[in-house]
Amino acid sequence: MSAASMLEESKDRIRIGISSCLLGEKVRYDANHKLDAYISGTLSQFFEFVPACPEVAIGMGVPRPPIRLVGNPERPRACGVRDASLDVTEALTAYGRRMALELEGISGYIFKSKSPSCGVARVKVYGGGAPSSRGVGIYAREVMARNPLLPVEEEARLGNAVLRENFIERVYAYHRWLTVCAQGITPAKLVAFHTDHKLILMAHGPVYYRALGRLVADAGARANRALYEDYAVGFMDALKHLATRKRHTNVLMHLMGYLKKQLDAEDKAELLEVFEAYRTGLVPRIVPLTLLQHHFRRHPTPYVARQLYLHPHPRELMLLNGT
């Protein structure tokens, strides 16, 4: 089955968790919201959002006294800004642990940045002296700790084209992994999954590609839950490492190798020229990929047809136009 067909088969919108305020819900401490136009506009066409506001969920109400992180940046407490005796750390922790179980089937999470409950990183922690920026929101910490493979991101970072593509690529990849596991993972299915993602892994780093390849090679002799878990951890960790234009160019050259007998010198020169224009930042990745896809339509190759690198997510998201 081709990569395009796999995307076509998945018509249902993928479920991802999200901070309610980013959808325009007036749940913030000042009874306002933080509606994000990209999330509510573009992403809502492809994802089914599962909203949550931990501070409202634990009964703080709207409006409510603002809270902040205080104390040790490694294990801060969530206390009132004006009334330090207001401490909701345990309540937020318990809610995070409960939601981590209830949201087990989601494929990603978009958290509100800088929030003492939802921030993923760089949340200010107050104490003696200047505030530290090493805090993590209490609720977000619990959700991430209990779902370590779950792709997470903050809305503020989605404005960066590279980080945006990386997050959405991880969401789709994790969703595919969850789907395979739900259907019953087997050595043969693991091999197929790995094969479909080979070029994606290569773009994130040859070291991850090789390490996961060794795991898959053991699938026949060591087909057990531990192997599948090791693969999932390695796979999702590999995708966290940002792909670069240089590594993408290596993948494009690798793909061109499957056309070396079919293309004439002029076609090869054109491809190399476009690859170089991409590598140096003159054109986005959609340009060399479109040209390659044109050639592969004329000269189909079964191995290439199944590579999700060519169709990692719906074209309508236009992610490849900016990276």
Query: Residue 1: pLDDT above 90?
Result: no
* pLDDT number for residue 11: 54
Summarize pLDDT for 189-210 with one digit per residue, the tens: 999 999 999 999 999 999 999 9
Tokens 């009132």 sit on residue: 80
Alpha helices in the chain (DSSP H): 3-9, 37-41, 54-57, 89-102, 138-146, 161-183, 187-196, 198-204, 206-217, 225-240, 245-256, 265-279, 286-298, 302-305
What's the pLDDT at 232?
Answer: 97
User: What is the pLDDT at residue 322?
Assistant: 83
Read off the pLDDT of each residue in 265-287 and give the average, rounded to a whole number: 97
Is residue 9's pLDDT more than 50?
Answer: no
Task: Give the start-to-end residue ranges of the domains of the chain.
Answer: 13-159, 161-323
How many whole angstroms separate alpha carbon 142 and alpha carbon 97? Answer: 6
Name the pTM for this structure.
Answer: 0.93
For 290-317, what is the mean pLDDT?
93
